[in-house]
Chains A and B, each alone.
Chain A
Amino acid sequence: DAGVIQSPRHEVTEMGQEVTLRCKPISGHDYLFWYRQTMMRGLELLIYFNNNVPIDDSGMPEDRFSAKMPNASFSTLKIQPSEPRDSAVYFCASSFGWGNTGELFFGEGSRLTVL
């Protein structure tokens, strides 16, 4: 398996622009997570899905952030409008639940810089 695939790997944008980050989880995994990592706050859980259904979005900072999972092999995280404080590395991770340790498999991350 190719692992969790994220795109883009790097994005530089200007404040106010819309940003869309994409993720393809490992085939067969039923959980998908979006995390954000910064030096100040570490790795923060934004939202996670189980079988394409959002379970907990309490970590989403504000209404500017939205996430979707239209099918088992694709998810997006959208920021509109973007702000400089959104600059971070955004990781997507997937896992297989029940009867398993449930370890997370992370993608390579999308490094976002908002100017």
Chain B
Amino acid sequence: GQNIDQPTEMTATEGAIVQINCTYQTSGFNGLFWYQQHAGEAPTFLSYNVLDGLEEKGRFSSFLSRSKGYSYLLLKELQMKDSASYLCAVRPFNNNDMRFGAGTRLTVKP
């Protein structure tokens, strides 16, 4: 089966840094994704990791440790518009099937 865990809610201050963790136990591994979803909207792709290490993309970075079944999304210089849910997703097999965690609702306060 597939088990993907992430915190339900987090709160941070504008301008600060926040780290959203994700742990997974899946029957296979072929990539880990982070998506952002604003309330009432569709999820949009943020980042992709398939090898261990850090991938940086502007204010957002994502880290993966396959041996630990662990990833995090790091958001720097937080802005009010970063208030959203952040979904961790794993592609367990060698196809494009993708399973999502329940999401972490991030609230950025002034």
Binding site for B on A (CB under 8 A): 31, 33, 35, 41-45, 48, 50, 55-56, 91, 95, 97, 101-109
Beyond A31-B96, A42-B101, list 5 extra A-B contacts (CB 8 Å). A48-B97, A50-B96, A97-B95, A101-B33, A104-B98
Q: Is the CB of B42 within 8 A of A107?
A: yes
B51 → A minimal CB distance (Å): 12
Interface majority SS (helix, strand, loop, mixed), chain B: loop
User: For this complex, into which size category does the number of interface residues on chain B fall?
Assistant: 20 to 34
Number of A-B contacts (CB under 8 A): 56
- Nearest 8 Cβ contacts at the A-B interface: A106-B42, A42-B102, A43-B100, A103-B45, A31-B96, A101-B48, A102-B96, A97-B96
CB neighbours of A33 from chain B (8 A): 96, 98
Residue with the greatest number of chain A CB neighbours at <10 A, chosen from B43, B44, B45: B43
Interface majority SS (helix, strand, loop, mixed), chain A: strand
B99 → A minimal CB distance (Å): 6
Q: Is the CB of B42 within 8 A of A109?
A: yes
Residue of B nearest to A107 (CB): B42
Q: Is the CB of A103 within 8 A of B48?
A: yes
